[in-house]
Amino acid sequence: MFGYKHYVPILKGKKGDFWSLQHAKSLTGDVVTPLIEVVPPTAKSTEAKHLTQTAQMLAGSRQHRRSFVDLKWRDNAPFVSPGSHVVDHFFAETRSRSTPAIPVTSLLRSPAFQTAVQRVVAIDQRGMALRLELDRMELGASELSAIDRLLTFMHIVPTDADLILDFGSVFTTPSALLAQNARSAMLLLPHLTAWRTLTVAAGSFPESVTVLPQATWSKLPRKEWTAWLSVVTGGTRPPRLPTYSDYAIGHPNLPFTGQANISVNLRYSFDDQFFVWRGFATTSHPLGHGQIIDICKDLVARSEFAGPNFSQGDQEIQARATTPGSTGGPQQWRQWATNHYLELVASQLATVPSP
């Protein structure tokens, strides 16, 4: 389906993430194939309504482009209606909108989840993605044999499946160790060269910016990026080069959904670094949300800023720095940063040397 110079961002399926995708220039070249995790509904919404709205947002950003969709956070959700699992319901919605979504599963999902994915695979004939959650399991003999059993259950062969080696959070893992673990896992895999695509995923962004100092820029290494570069360009390359995947500017876990005293922050990125400004709580600082204006002004004056033409997100940041108007809120700050990040990774992949 695509070569190793491709990007699979893992996004939480919120409105801001779909905005980031919709406004990503790199999508025109089909360089990006997102993996959307469908998050739980809010207390004000029903399961069915939430699934329908998520399918609508996906269609709005990528109606005729391929996407992976994982309902892992809804594995134990009640059936939407008798005989209709959340997986059935969501993919019926994408099907009605002509959105070519590919279901994602893992070895750790419930029997009901796997059976629902089986039905989707049979109807859509697009195969599936198998996500090996290596932060929760090891690739031992039983897991390796379970891969073939799952393929048999789904009535597909490896060439019909996309394999994702997901290492989850690597915030405390050295990039060299992550690269070594990725190489080792690939050498254990059955059918290494037969999978439709092979992807390595990880995320090194912290779960919360509260671990960072306030009122200054913090630089954090993008360890998943440097590890992947080592795998595909280093001296000891695996028999197959994997596609790149990460959690963008977020953490693999679900974000906090309760009442919180929001701190203004801006998550930027450049080269092999995350660049993060952690401000103060909106309720304890005289500027409140207006702190973002000064943060944007500081960023656009720095060499790390890519310029307003780099992405829609950068254009929004430039506008806040130079034009009086709305400060936006946490959703907008996140979508500007995510949109910039998608363009950054796409541009970096274009410059990776060929083997």
| Cα gap 294→299, rounded to integer Å | 9
Helix (H) or strand (E) holding 206: none
37 secondary structure, DSSP code: E
| Cα gap 180→178, rounded to integer Å | 5
| Residue 50: predicted pLDDT | 96
| Residue 257: predicted pLDDT | 64
Helix (H) or strand (E) holding 92: helix 86-96
Nearest to 254 by CA among 10, 61, 51: 10
pTM (2 decimals)? 0.96
Tens of pLDDT along 294-352? 999 999 999 999 999 999 999 999 999 998 888 999 999 999 999 999 999 999 999 99
pLDDT at 26 over 80: no
pLDDT band at 259 (very low <50, low <70, confident <90, very high): low
pLDDT at 119 over 80: yes
Taking all residues of the chain, what is their mean pLDDT, rounded to a whole number? 95
pLDDT at 260 over 70: no
Nearest to 249 by CA among 17, 7, 22, 2: 17
Classify 174 as helix, strand or coil: coil
End-to-end CA distance of the chain: 19
Answer whether 282's CB lies under 8 Å from 262's CB. Answer: yes
Pick left, alpha or beta for residue 191 (phi over 0 → left; psi -120 to 50 → alpha; otherwise beta).
left
Residue with tokens 């482009």: 65
| Residue 293: predicted pLDDT | 96
Strands 101-105 and 128-133: parallel
Tens of pLDDT along 141-187? 999 999 999 999 999 999 999 999 999 999 999 999 999 999 999 99
Q: What CA–CA distances, in Å, run from 227 to 170, 195, 224, 269?
A: 11, 22, 5, 17
Task: Give the lowest-confidence range in 28-37, 235-244, 331-340.
Answer: 28-37
